[in-house]
Amino acid sequence: MGYMKKYHEWLENPIIDNATKEELRSIAENEKEIEDRFYKDLEFGTAGLRGVIGAGSNRMNLYTLGKATQGLANYIIKQGKEAMEKGVAIAYDSRHMSPEFAERAALVLNGNGIKAFLFSELQPTPVLSFTIRHLGTISGIVITASHNPSEYNGYKVYWEDGAQVALERANGITGEIDRINDFNQIKALDRKEALEAGLLNVIGEEVLKAYIDRVVALSLNPDIIKGSGKDLKIIYTPLHGSGNKPVRRVLKETGFENVAVVPEQEQPDPDFSTVGYPNPEERRVFELAIKMAQNSGNDTDIIVGTDPDCDRVGVIVKDDLGEYIALNGNQIGVLLVDYILGSMKRSGRLLQDGVIIKTVVTSKLGEKIAQSYGVEVINTLTGFKFIGERMKEFEETGSHTFLFGYEESYGYLAGDFVRDKDAVSATLLICEMAAWYKSKGMSLYEGLLELWERHGYFCEGLKSMEMEGKAGMRKIRKLMRGLRDNPPRLLSGKKVSIIDDYQEGKSYNLLEGTAGDIELPASDVLRYTIEDDSRFAIRPSGTEPKIKLYFSVRGQDLGDARERLQRLKDDVTKHIEN
């Protein structure tokens, strides 16, 4: 169906409310805008929906969300009466329309005879993951667009194991959504009906307390917090999101007494007015926190910030020159790997079947550190859902004990009671780790220098290329096809030795002329290894209109590593642009 026909169908549909139609009428003379809003339906990807809020089939609104929820409801109904009775847990963050979207999802489920358990206020994504297992629901929904700009919102679906829905199940839900061709097929109760029928249930404090208790129990060195932790000076920012209450509560309950919160970023704000793009991967979102540190004696030990749904965490520390610098996701990850495994070993708690899980685009330094403790490392595709799948496998088979999972995009998880990245528990462990280093007379940055000295100077970089709309999708497909048809053979003056094509499931050794299978699900990812063991990977983002390039090098010292990284970035960029 053409985009203009879909546009007029929405205008003529009696179910569509007048405010939505007025919004659509306001773009009647803007065909490009009409095309962008209607050239496709907002896609239910591997975990759910994400898009700009607004009227149209390619936008996040009550109608597209209602359709997705009806599809989910139909899928649950096919699982049987027990699944319907178990119900669905629903959480939401601080974004525009998040409470309204959450309630709409609940009431559509209720309209299909499925129980819904809805939080009474905004909560982090990891709390939703925990709640699914704690209440024993069949599924879960969280309304969030993570760290996207304020005009976005999203809808992520989880299953009873607490992880984002696996690919096969996501395809099943997508099939049900695709069968809905009329908004009349969406069933919903009003709130009063749902409450009276016992189908809509409001989640109270007891669930959050159970989660907080489990996070507090993750502390590896509580005695360190009683000592150095009391003196550790922490600045925290929730970046206008859902982390404010749970993060501060966990830090307080574990004994951190010197925690200051950036006042301008403390309260929920759907416009993210002080940052615009609330991504803790970016140093600029910490400008207010850094200024606060500089104005309060310049003796802050660590600055920590979480994104709106509090599943990612960024860290600012002072370097050897006293400058506030941002640690990248790989650096935070390897520090945590060493701290967790080291603490377990020192206390005699390091299990022989313990395992670390990371993604294929994450630095190899974490593997080096884990191997030094005799701990196995398993690689997965990008996305924490794949880490969650391996955790479920370990639980079912008893083959391994999960110790820690992480990815370079600032996502970390310790403990098995959550099955997604968790910035609440990660913040606790990061602050405890900083206190442990402080007890040794070291800063967190000096701890990183020590890891480099012991295991090699690894340096990583990330480049994102935004490609918006329909034209952007074509550019991304063309770029990936071009790399497959014309792969780089020489980078930074060195031969490309291995090409891993995760879509084909093949690994090609160019120097030996051999090929082998990759034992991972198909995914549009290419990774290139150079003969000096430098690497870069490229993949389209699963949540944003952009393509991502990941770089990793190892140098003789830090300066050499940084030079190698820049050369590799320049060579890859030149190859792509040509």
> Which residues participate in catalysis according to the annotation?
146
Nearest alpha carbon to residue 568 among 558, 578, 553: 553
Kind and range of the H or E run holding 428: helix 423-439
Question: Which strand (E) or helix (H) includes residue 473?
Answer: helix 469-485
- In angstroms, the Cα distances linking 161 to 51, 98, 218, 428, 447 are 26, 24, 20, 24, 36
User: How many other CB atoms sit within 10 Å of the CB of residue 373?
Assistant: 17
Three-state secondary structure of 325-348:
EEECHHHHHHHHHHHHHHHHHHCC
Are 282 and 409 contacting, i.e. CB atoms less than 8 angstroms apart?
no
Cα–Cα dist 491/549, whole Å: 15
* Contact (CB, 8 A) for 144 and 222: no
What does DSSP assign to residue 228?
I
CA 200 to chain CA mean position, Å: 28
The SS3 assignment for 302 reads strand
Q: Which residues contact 124 (CB under 8 A, 6 or more apart)?
A: 91, 93, 242, 243, 246, 306, 309, 310, 311, 422, 423, 424
Nearest to 279 by CA among 541, 488, 14: 541
Q: Please, are residues 11 and 129 in contact by the beta-carbon 8 Å criterion?
A: no
Look at residues 55, 137, 157 and name the one whose alpha carbon lies nearest to residue 97: 55
- C-alpha count within 13 angstroms, C-beta hemisphere, residue 517: 3
Task: Tell me the C-alpha distance between 418 and 158, whole Å.
Answer: 12
Give the containing element (helix H, strand E) for 540.
Answer: strand 535-540
Contact 341, 403 (CB under 8 A): yes
Which 3 state secondary structure label does DSSP give 160?
coil
Q: Hey, what amino acid is at 328?
A: N
Q: How far apart are CA 287 and CA 61, in angstroms?
A: 33
How distant, in Å, are the alpha carbons of 87, 104, 139, 493 from that of 83? 7, 20, 9, 58
Q: CA-CA distance, 217 to 415, in Å (whole number)?
A: 9
Beta bridge partners of 16: none
Look up residue 130 and give its two tokens. Answer: 């925990």
Count of H helices and E strands in the chain?
Answer: 21, 23
